[in-house]
Structure 1
Amino acid sequence: MIYEPVNHPLVSIIIPFRDQATLTGQCLASIRANAGSIKYEIILVNNQSLEDKTNKWVNNLKHIEDIRIIDFDSDFNFAKINNVARKSCHGDYLLFLNNDIVFQSPEVLSQLMAPFACRSVGAVGSQLRYPDHSIQHNGVVIVRGERRALLEPGKTIDHPAILNRLTPLLVEEEFSAASAACLMIKTEIFDELNGFNESFAVTFNDVDLCLRLRQLGYSVIITPYPTIIHFESKSRGKDLHGEDLARQQKEQGLLRQEHTNLYRNGDPLYSQTIHSHSRTYGLQIDREPTPPLTKERIIHAWQRGRKHSIRKKSLLFFAQYSADGMIRDDIIPLLKAYQRHADLVVIAATPQLAEQTRTLKKLQSLSQVVIVRENDGYDFGSWMTGIRFCSQMLEDYEQVILTNDSLWGPISPLGQLFNRLNASPADVVGLTDDLMYSYHLQSSLIAFRKTAFTHSAFADFWSSIHTWSQKRDLVKQQEVGLSKRMMSAGMTLESLYSRHSNGNILHFSWRSLIIDQNFPFLKVSLLRDNPTQQNIDNWFELINSRNPKLARIIQCQVEKISRAD
């Protein structure tokens, strides 16, 4: 497609930077060499640079007529930086450009502008290459029902034999979104959208912008024709761990929330027969055979005499598992705390406990039912076993609660938690929720009102529990599947301590949950594994200030784990 605009448009190129004068200078030099015949202006946004080298470089640029330098003296917020920069732009088109971009082919602006020959085109992104010339970016696909929110077809592919058979990577193609590392948009459309949503401070701001643009009836095109190198995240780094990952997950959750229908129905520009994890447009393969149904595998069962059994309105099913065959030291105190608010059913998927008479007697003193079983089906297998075993008892209760030993607690008395739980008008109530895969309540603790646990959907779910070998499948089919089943049956769901969180909020926001909301638990895997490298400094002091005995128990367990490693 050859497009020669008749009105001699002006392109405003917006480049944010913080120090890294050499990197930004390299970007500017490539613009001078390869932008081409289209007239342009450059707006550099200085975001709190500190280095003397950068200040000298900036001063040297101030006399150049087509460069304007504006200061953004606040914390990094890509969306806000570009919205502020827009106010200094005079162009008919805006080109958002990262400072780690290098143009390597001639007439880049003309090639980016070419798709605008179609009036329906609102924004154009470019195929971007890594320095080794493998593909870094070629459009964004919305992924439905998975942990990942987005797919980038072609990413990291460099072999000609593969690229040459992937037509969407070789031609101008419409996608749902494009990266703002290099994104051209008509200024009037950007203004109509009120710019970037500044709630997306770092990530997904470009995707949200493109999706809102499409809602206005415009299209987003990716062109493969310019040769543009992107030293991805050299300017800012990647969001792999700690607070950066927590913030990225929060912004991903906002994207899912803002574009619920897309995440419910899937990307309209991408066939649902294509595998949601394939970068090469591979077809969905037939699903692996469904694993066998989970069996109860009861080794030992004890039930309190009927006349002494019903004492509370709630029946709480507690799933326990231990690889070393022992009950953790915090479990008995936790069960005692639960017992003040609910009758207990303990299901231990720890076969060795059947031979531990003293431990069994402790559990029996606190419980209505104690079951020891083989570990088949993990916690959902244990809950299934308990629910089936207690089927006749359920009619005597107003509420069923499912929980497990994945939490240390209580950090503070459970009265406030149960008051909030009992006050909820919802049919199904959880501690926390999660938008990942699709909206669901996390399974660390979920309560079901009588309207929910007597519904046929509840019984149907527990009649078809399978033993999944992969955690991803277990979460999708069981944790997510339970919430979906209840919502499909018309049940209302509520999360007490989060609203539309994304990812494991019990890791990402553990400290604020305890301090700001008096959350009574700490996730065991946070201290045991800390897979996303969250800041867990001073956890002991925080827990010790609320429950010194629990803090010491947790400390002993953490030290034991460290010695084992």
Structure 2
Amino acid sequence: MIGIMYRLVQRLRIALAWSLAQLKLGGAYLSYWASFLRRESYVQERWEGAQSLAGAKRVAVFVHYDRQGVVHDFVEHYLRQLHDLGFAIVFTSNAPRLAQSDTLRDLCALVIRRDNVGYDFGAYKEGIAAIPELAAVDTLLLANDSVYGPLYHLAGVLDRMDPQGADVWGASDSWEFSFHLQSYFLVFHRAALASPAFTAFWTKLRYVQSKTWVVRRYEVGLTRALRRAGLRCRAAFPYRQAASALIEAVVERNVAGDGLDPVRKTFIQQVFRTVNAGVPLNGTHFFWDYLISQMDFPFLKRDLLQKNPARIPLLNYWERVVRQSTDYDTDLILRHLELSLKNRSV
């Protein structure tokens, strides 16, 4: 009887999940059609920074969002590193307000504040459109503040993302829905920027107010469109490398043996079964500690610490992992968590 009830509950959960997914998808299509009624631009303010975009060879479009319009110090750290690496920064904020600051002026070439319509991809589109001479740019970086870091200096990361290895690089990839580069850190080299597929993608992109649409059609769709055009797209820290390391550790070294604490053992066994079945996971969540400590991955996803949607256990070790592996100032993360977390500690 218990077995029958368990199977019934599982079927109800699956049915509910499917229904919710269909509702989200229906809402996404409604948002797409509504986008034809939207304006051509949602820029509300813009001001020049100390740098110049004219003739810049390296340009970064950095997307920011904060409900209070605050540019937190972990973001300033990120911007300062990009500035020191020679990027002319187009700081594009989706915040409802944004105070003009000397720090932003000093670090950026252009600061844009726009309505949060179209999420990050809407902001990327308007940031790219603000570049006066895209044809003169050798390297375009699209980045956002959905991560803490860089935990390691980006100079080494960018050296790995050379144009001989690929035309488009992402920090990480995902196999959910279909293979794609995750959009929080994307590097486009000259071949990609000169491709008609790149221009067509951003020209056709609409300001759709649906995260489901943005992920499936724009984040996933960008990699698909560029690969169809013959462009090489690679991740510097591929999902398969971390997943393979887990399989090897369980099969060859028995890391999930009896000597492991029950919480960690159960988690590793669950992830092992999922990976072994070919079900893709979000590597930046499920393999966050391995990526940082063993692969020198330079980022820690904010939503992992703030929300932990997949209920990854033992996240309280994040500070120890970061401190033991990098020289990043973890107080930058702690200060933001203290301001942003409610009814949650990590």
TM-score, scaled relative to structure 2: 0.75
Structure-2 residue corresponding to 1:562: 341
* Deviation of 1:549 (Å): 6.0
Provide the aligned C-alpha RMSD in A: 3.3
Structure 1 residues 424 and 551: CA distance shift in structure 2, 3 A: farther
Is 1:526 equivalent to 2:304 in the alignment? yes
Q: Which runs of 4+ in 1 moved over 6 A?
A: none
For residue 346 of structure 1, give the secondary structure of its aligned residue in structure 2: strand
Structure-2 residue corresponding to 1:550: 329
Structure-1 residue corresponding to 2:283: 505
Structure-2 residue corresponding to 1:54: none
1:115-514 → structure 2 map (5 Å cutoff): 130-131=4-5, 288=30, 290-293=33-36, 295-303=40-48, 308-309=52-53, 313-341=57-85, 342-353=87-98, 356-357=99-100, 359=101, 361-390=102-131, 392-422=132-162, 425-500=165-240, 502-514=280-292
Structure 1 residues 156 and 482: CA distance shift in structure 2, 3 A: closer
For residue 292 of structure 1, give the secondary structure of its aligned residue in structure 2: helix
Report the AA paired with residue 325 of structure 1.
G
Instruction: Verify the 8 A CA contact 2:46 2:113 in the aligned structure 1.
Output: yes
For residue 299 of structure 1, give the secondary structure of its aligned residue in structure 2: strand
Instruction: Verify the 8 A CA contact 1:291 1:466 in the aligned structure 2.
Output: no
Instruction: Verify the 8 A CA contact 2:180 2:219 in the aligned structure 1.
Output: yes
Greater Rg over alpha carbons, structure: 1
Structure 1 residues 538 and 385: CA distance shift in structure 2, 3 A: same
Structure 1 residues 410 and 291: CA distance shift in structure 2, 3 A: same
Instruction: Verify the 8 A CA contact 1:311 1:343 in the aligned structure 2.
Output: no
Counterpart Cα distance in 2 of 1:490 and 1:320: 31
Instruction: Verify the 8 A CA contact 2:117 2:208 in the aligned structure 1.
Output: no
Give per-residue Cα distances to partners, 1:286-321, cap 9 Å, x unaligned.
954623156432222233589x54686321110001
Is 1:517 equivalent to 2:262 in the alignment? no
Structure-2 residue corresponding to 1:166: none
Counterpart Cα distance in 1 of 2:54 and 2:342: 43
Instruction: Verify the 8 A CA contact 2:170 2:234 in the aligned structure 1.
Output: yes
Structure 1 residues 454 and 133: CA distance shift in structure 2, 3 A: closer
Counterpart Cα distance in 2 of 1:301 and 1:309: 14
2:316 to 512, 537, 552: 537
Structure 1 residues 539 and 452: CA distance shift in structure 2, 3 A: same
Structure 1 residues 368 and 532: CA distance shift in structure 2, 3 A: same
Counterpart Cα distance in 2 of 1:429 and 1:464: 22
Of 547-556 and 451-460, deviating more is: 547-556
**Bigger RCO (CA 8 Å, 6+ sep):** 2
Counterpart Cα distance in 1 of 2:34 and 2:226: 23
Number of matched pairs: 295
Structure-1 residue corresponding to 2:277: none
Structure-2 residue corresponding to 1:146: none
* Deviation of 1:555 (Å): 1.1
Unaligned runs of 5+ in 1: 1-22, 24-99, 101-129, 138-151, 158-274, 279-283
Structure 1 residues 548 and 367: CA distance shift in structure 2, 3 A: same
Counterpart Cα distance in 1 of 2:6 and 2:165: 57
